[in-house]
Amino acid sequence: MRNGIALILSLAILAVAMPAQSGGTFVITKSVIASGGGNTSGGTFSLDGTIGQSVAGGPVTGGSFSLTSGFWGGGSSSAPTVRSPFDFDGDGKTDISIYRPSEGQWWLNRSSTSVIVYTFGNSADRLVPADFTGDGKTDVAIYRPSTGEWFVLRSEDATFYSFPFGNSTDVPAPGDYDADGKADAAVFRASTGTWYIQRSTGGTTIENFGSPGDLPVPADFDGDGQTDIAIYRPSLGQWWMKRSAAGVIAVTFGVSTDRCVPGDFTGDGKADVALYRPASGEWLILRSEDYSFYSFPFGNSTDTPAPGDYDGDGRFDAAVYRSSATTWYVQRSTAGTLIQSFGAPTDLAVPNAYVR
């Protein structure tokens, strides 16, 4: 609310600083016009109490038109689109889902439609679901270490494509590293601390960031819509994040037996450093806003952490899959706790795919 008040005040100040404009022919190019309630007129149009946003597309020219007490359309917003992970139906909610290695089957309990099953993969494949095609839906996808190949099942029509990128010891770490709305294939080569990223906009990035023994934990830590290269160093409990907009930062948060579960738990558009501690069943969240932290118990030592935005409110929810009981427990930040049976004892929780 405070930010909203500041925005309104700044717009009001800009509006009253400009005198009313009038005359024959106007060309309006990304400017603030009129006096916040006055009348601007001339020739073929009139503008009443209108503020032209700086992000509005321009120029606006000619014709006969009228704008009254509002903002005109056009242009584009620079705010990044935030999408929920593991959202196979594109409704903004993470879907409960499992992979059955023995049969190579994906069982997706889509929150807006129904359960669907795909056979795609084998028991040795690594799960790498993400929106590779940019349609707003997560694609079923696997990384095959034996050949270094990626296989992507398009959500649009269930056709697939594949390509080689990586080797048998690489750790797959896909993400939208170029902020174009499509996930990019990426691997972290721990033996050399090197990242290899095949950008969907073209070209390959090769970058050294990390050391042997580090774990890849990429996420958008600065809120610019671009996945950031990041590692967790279990031996020291350190997170090193190479933020694309804000530079490198390192924080000490965790111990060697913790599981890394970064995500936007606070809803500010930035991923928070976060851990699941199996020994105590606790979740520990380091807020991106001020680097204070909070914790809460949710799970036990044998549960599989599977965080995501299960209620579509823009905040990550703590969730675990208890394979012994084939039961999901989700502490939704808005909709309350969900307990649901889905899966079999040997199934893998798909939203656990990038938990390190």
- Report the pLDDT value the prediction gives residue 82, as an integer from 0 to 100: 73
Check pLDDT > 90 for residue 345: yes
- Report the pLDDT value the prediction gives residue 77, as an integer from 0 to 100: 44
Q: What is the pLDDT of residues 157-169, one digit of tens each?
A: 999 999 999 999 9
- Report the pLDDT value the prediction gives residue 183, as an integer from 0 to 100: 98
Q: Which of 37, 99, 114 is nearest to 68 (CA)?
A: 37
**Both tokens of residue 141?**
């996808």
Contact criterion met (CB below 8 Å) for 92 and 84:
yes
Phi, psi torsion values for 204, nearest 5 degrees: -120, 135
Mean pLDDT of the chain: 83
Rounded CA-CA distance 184/143 in Å is: 13
- Taking the CA atoms of 190, 195, 196 and 199 in sequence, report the sign of the dihedral they define: positive
Q: What is the pLDDT of residues 329-339, one digit of tens each?
A: 999 999 999 99
Check pLDDT > 90 for residue 6: no
- Report the pLDDT value the prediction gives residue 235, as an integer from 0 to 100: 96
Check pLDDT > 80 for residue 52: no
Rounded CA-CA distance 314/162 in Å is: 32
Check pLDDT > 80 for residue 143: yes
Check pLDDT > 90 for residue 271: yes
- Report the pLDDT value the prediction gives residue 79, as an integer from 0 to 100: 55
Residue 118 pLDDT level (bands cut at 50, 70, 90):
very high
- Report the pLDDT value the prediction gives residue 45, as an integer from 0 to 100: 40
Question: What number of residues does the chain have?
Answer: 356
Q: What is the pLDDT of residues 186-206, one digit of tens each?
A: 999 999 999 999 999 999 999
Rounded CA-CA distance 63/77 in Å is: 26
- Report the pLDDT value the prediction gives residue 83, as an integer from 0 to 100: 82
Q: What is the pLDDT of residues 63-102, one digit of tens each?
A: 443 333 333 344 444 456 678 999 999 999 999 999 999 9
- Report the pLDDT value the prediction gives residue 113, as an integer from 0 to 100: 86
211-233: average pLDDT = 97
What pTM does this model have?
0.77
Residue type, 10: S
- Report the pLDDT value the prediction gives residue 301, as an integer from 0 to 100: 96
Burial of residue 221, with CB atoms counted within 10 A of its CB: 0-12 exposed, 13-18 middle, 19 or more buried: buried
- Report the pLDDT value the prediction gives residue 40, as an integer from 0 to 100: 41
